């Protein structure tokens, strides 16, 4: 019989046994989330793919830095997931991840995914960012940089426990658990990694962002579109494409189509916004 080390503690006069091995797993997850976040932040900052000009010019077919990094990340993900599906020790985890990803999209149709992804792409061209790259923008000091379920975790934790459950069951489910907090740690690491990389190279704060109006409008389109599509550039573009999910493939096509259309008409949109505000 396998030995399981456990410690005993009193919690409101009741005895609770806590498996110490779970603490070790949590520590590993925390460390992994932080380290990978830092690596992501450094890689994105060094590649300069987070610059708004790079993102918009990709949609205009003038610069292809974003496409190169996106395809490299997608193919790397496909390769790693393929290995996981073939190795007996990791195959169960791969299948579980595939089922979990599919379950997140079970209420989505091709119409909702493609419309949402197109709006997300439009937001990318307006704001010059996307949900993943905005982390590097914040870390590198890009002006007017700034949705993610990690934000839900932070907001729900700041509120009183019972009030969250009553006020918003949606936020309540993000209030605790490593399944939520790993994203907060990853994001913190990504911002810190980008900041460290930019400071060491002397490029901190030199990248100019878009205007406040463009940042607000583009941010709204990105968050709303990602929620409607059930994923963003990372969810559909990396995880979904890596798992060969057809909804994600359709979403990525719509995402770039929306971004290209918007970028080509951005001057008209900017002039319209200036006349309104």
pTM over 0.75: yes
Structure tokens at 221: 């389109």
Sign for the CA dihedral angle at 223, 225, 228, 234 comes to negative
Residue 9 contacts by C-beta under 8 Å, 6 or more apart in sequence? Answer: 15, 16, 18
Q: Per the domain annotation, does 159 fall within a domain? A: no
Give the tens place of pLDDT for each residue, 34-80: 999 999 999 999 999 999 999 999 999 999 999 999 999 999 999 99
Give the tens place of pLDDT for each residue, 130-173: 888 888 998 999 887 654 555 555 554 555 555 656 666 655 56
Q: Per the domain annotation, does 84 fall within a domain? A: yes
What's the total number of domains in the chain?
Answer: 1
Q: Per the domain annotation, does 3 fall within a domain? A: no
Q: Per the domain annotation, does 255 fall within a domain? A: yes
Q: Per the domain annotation, does 98 fall within a domain? A: yes
Q: Per the domain annotation, does 90 fall within a domain? A: yes
Residue 152 contacts by C-beta under 8 Å, 6 or more apart in sequence? Answer: 170, 171, 174, 180
Range of the domain at 51: 26-146+176-276
The helix or strand, by DSSP H or E, that contains position 16, with its residue range, turns out to be strand 14-19
Structure tokens at 276: 């309104």
pLDDT band at 16 (very low <50, low <70, confident <90, very high): very low
Cβ contact 96:87 at 8 Å: no
Q: Per the domain annotation, does 155 fall within a domain? A: no
Q: Per the domain annotation, does 66 fall within a domain? A: yes
The pLDDT, as a whole number, for residue 151 is 54
Q: Which residue shows structure tokens 């709204």?
A: 220
Cα gap 255→233, rounded to integer Å? 8
Cα gap 45→57, rounded to integer Å? 17
């Amino acid at each position: 019989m396998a030995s399981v080390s456990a410690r005993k503690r009193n919690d409101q006069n009741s005895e609770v046994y806590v498996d110490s091995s779970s603490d070790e797993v949590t520590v590993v997850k925390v460390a992994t989330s932080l380290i990978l976040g830092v690596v992501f932040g450094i890689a994105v900052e060094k590649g300069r793919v987070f610059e708004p000009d790079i993102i918009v010019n990709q949609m205009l077919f003038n610069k292809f830095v974003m496409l190169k990094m996106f395809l490299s990340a997608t193919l790397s993900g496909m390769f790693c997931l393929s290995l996981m599906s073939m190795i007996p020790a990791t195959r169960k985890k791969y299948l579980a991840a595939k089922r979990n990803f599919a379950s997140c999209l079970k209420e989505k149709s091709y119409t909702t995914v493609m419309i949402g992804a197109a709006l997300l792409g439009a937001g990318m061209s307006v704001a010059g960012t996307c949900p993943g790259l905005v982390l590097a923008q914040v870390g590198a000091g890009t002006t007017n940089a700034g949705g993610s379920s990690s934000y839900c975790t932070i907001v729900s934790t700041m509120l009183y426990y019972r009030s969250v459950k009553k006020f918003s069951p949606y936020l309540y489910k993000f209030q605790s658990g490593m399944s939520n907090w790993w994203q907060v740690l990853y994001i913190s690491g990504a911002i810190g990694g980008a900041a460290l990389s930019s400071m060491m190279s002397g490029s901190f704060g030199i990248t100019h962002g878009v205007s406040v109006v463009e940042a607000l409008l583009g941010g709204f389109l990105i968050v709303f579109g990602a929620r409607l599509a059930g994923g963003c550039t990372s969810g559909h573009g990396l995880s979904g494409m890596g798992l060969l999910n057809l909804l994600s493939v359709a979403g990525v096509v719509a995402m770039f189509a929306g971004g290209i259309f918007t970028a080509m008409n951005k001057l008209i949109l900017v002039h319209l916004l200036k006349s309104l505000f």
